[in-house]
Copies of this chain bind each other. A is one copy, B any other.
Amino acid sequence: VGASTKAQPVGETVAPRRPRSPRGEGGILRDELVAAATALLDRTGDPDRVTIRGVAAEVGVAPTALYLHFADRDELMVAVVEGRFAEFGRTIDAADPGGDPLDALVARGVAYVEFALAHPGHYRALFGGFSLSEERPDLAARCQAAGAPAFQALIDAVQRCLDAGRLHGRDPYPIAVALWSMTHGYADLARSGCQPMLPDVRVVLKSVVAAFRPVS
């Protein structure tokens, strides 16, 4: 149980009115809306506080302009999610040092948590289960598709450990889920107000690896 600012008129950022795009370049606004929603999500840390009115104010446009490019709020949010999943995947991959596969796996886990702590709003949009209307299963499917490569990359990293004999087992899948659960859980507990009582993620990961191994 944590604390947070409630409602509040989050769109304080009232940008000057945006000049109209030249003819044929209406699509520019679409990109600006996604970028503004992404920035607002990063600032507020909460998908529910990314409102159409807030995004429009940030861009310097009337709230209704959003409907020129998105059917509704959900469609905008899914566009944000797709962009953030791509960024998330690049970040994790960039943190993989190669070399010993178990060390690499731990490094990926650390990068995962660091992404979540650095961008809690983005992270929650990806893995926090923000709600889409049930009448649009296509949107949920787009989110799932956007996240699939990241999960596959985790499976692959676990498989490399199994192949090298650095982890034991036949199936990488449940091990991957366990590690995913741990990093997600740590990140979510930190977000929810338990941050002060959690040791550094590196300490936690190393402790659990050591705890299950005989003393050397």
Contacts and interface: CB of A to CB of B under 8 A. Distances in A.
A199 interface: yes
A180 interface: yes
A169 B212 CA distance: 9
Contacts of A184: 181, 185, 188-189
Contacts of A180: 185, 189
Instruction: State the number of copies, please.
Output: 2
A4 B213 contact: no
Interface string A175-206: 10111111111101101110000110001110
Contacts of A133: 3, 6
A2 B174 contact: no
Contacts of A191: 129
A106 interface: no
A134 interface: yes
A215 interface: yes
Interface stretch (A21-29, A60-68, A87-95, A137-145): A137-145
A192 B1 contact: no
A147 B1 contact: yes
A71 interface: no
Q: Which 5 residue pairs of A and B lie closest in terms of their CB atoms, listed nearest first? A: A129-B192, A185-B185, A212-B212, A181-B185, A1-B143
